[in-house]
Structure 1
Amino acid sequence: MSQFVSLGDSEFKHPSWLTAFGTLAGYGIILFVLFVALFVLPYVVFAA
């Protein structure tokens, strides 16, 4: 009597899912690079 649909990994191979995951990964990489450039790099430079 389960109301949830069982999703296999084939459901996530649709191009829209790949695009969504790729977009999130890309934004994550950009945010990480900006974080390092704006916070970590100045801390290392001025702490030396």
Structure 2
Amino acid sequence: MSAPVAVPVSKPVEIKKSLIDAVVAGLLALIVFGPIVGIVLDGYSFNL
């Protein structure tokens, strides 16, 4: 027996809105976590 899965009834995925949401979320993540990761990685030296 499988549990019922919540599926929206006849609501298509909006590609454009999803793409915009993904870009906004990515930018927010860069702004929020960028300095934190920079501070953490300052202890290491990377030679490219």
TM-score of the pair, normalised by structure 2? 0.49
Higher relative contact order (CA 8 A, sep 6+): 1
Give the structure with the higher percent helix.
1
TM-score of the pair, normalised by structure 1? 0.49
